[in-house]
Amino acid sequence: MAKIVKFQRPSLREKAEGRTLCKSGFHKWKIVTERKFDVKSGKLVTQLRCERCGETKTKLL
């Protein structure tokens, strides 16, 4: 007979960790230094990424 393993559902705290602030618009932006130049527009661009949810946005200099 096979072993029966009970799976626990993640608690609400674990499930929503790092997302509740971002859903409310309070992201934790950090500058990404991989790419600094936009080829199409020919301008310097700063790319920002949220540390909690991973959403990205660009900002023209």
Can you give the residue ranges of every domain in the chain? 26-60
Asked whether the beta carbons of 22 and 53 are under 8 A apart, the reply is: yes
pLDDT tens, the chain, 61 aa long: 788 888 888 888 887 776 778 888 899 999 987 767 766 777 788 889 999 888 999 887 6
Residue 61, C-beta contacts closer than 8 angstroms, at least 6 positions apart: 43, 44, 45, 46
β-bridge partners, 30 = 49
Total-model pTM: 0.58
